A and B are shown apart, each in its own frame.
Chain A
């Protein structure tokens, strides 16, 4: 399909979008937890990937490439958002009292922007809330592993981190998720000994 797209067939471009729009959007949406923003970032991802198709290396999985671009876009956004909410004096570029007040208000929110009504409903389940509490890197690993069914090696490729780091992230993420889910249960199973 990629080779066909490279030859200039618009139908091939559209087929690539059709195949990947749902998984890419779902990954980004669960990363940023904002539908409109997830759609913007997903759109940017596809535009970037499809406009760079000529440089695509067929030795590498297309899905890994597009997930890498999408994940980087989401992580970059989350890091930037953290920086924007760090200052107690408001955002550095806030030049009016109103802007200062608005950015100061974000500080108490723990870096999470309020979810819109749709996102709140869609991502409000226990497992979704547990996923949201994970560090972004853990979240990406767990989504790629358990939602997209990627192998540890493929996740290492997508996230450009060593295989051992992937294993560590997934191990920690899994433990955190299990704890979050167990917290909600009336009876917590006993911790396993050494």
Chain B
């Protein structure tokens, strides 16, 4: 086994692995290390859970409510309500 394969994965590497971005040499470590594999699986579950968070939106008319209180500058340099 090479040095790269023997070293435990760092936090950043676990994150990359969960995103499918970790290089093959470092990914090989997971075939040898059950501890890192367990960590990696936890990381993947977390990423999946975060990726499935729903999108939220404010109530309809949000832009109108904001624009009612915004001063749009005139091209001449002044402002209009």
Contact = CB atoms under 8 A, between A and B. Distances in A.
Interface string B32-60: 00011011011101110111111111110
Interface in A39-91: 39, 42-43, 46-47, 50-51, 53-54
Contact of B42 (A142, A182, A193): A182
A26 B56 contact: yes
Given A17-B63, A25-B57, A182-B42, A147 B50 contact: yes
Interface stretch (A6-14, A94-102, A103-111, A133-141): A6-14
A177 B53 contact: no
B20 interface: no
Nearest to A185: B45
Nearest to B78: A8
Contacts, number: 102
Interface in B50-81: 50-59, 62-63, 65-67, 69-75, 80
Please classify how large the interface on chain A is, using the bins under 10, 10 to 19, 20 to 34, 35 or more: 35 or more
A182 B50 CA distance: 14
Contacts of B8: 192
The secondary-structure label for the interface of chain A is: helix
Contacts of B47: 146
B7 interface: no
A167 B78 CA distance: 44
A104 B50 CA distance: 36
Contact of A13 (B15, B38, B54, B67): B67
Contacts of B42: 178, 181-182, 189
A126 interface: yes
Given A22-B55, A177-B46, A189-B38, A47 B73 contact: no
Contacts of B43: 174, 178
B46 A181 contact: yes
Nearest to A17: B63
Contact of A39 (B15, B45, B62): B62
Q: Which 6 A-B pairs have the closest CB atoms?
A: A189-B38, A127-B49, A192-B35, A146-B50, A26-B56, A17-B63
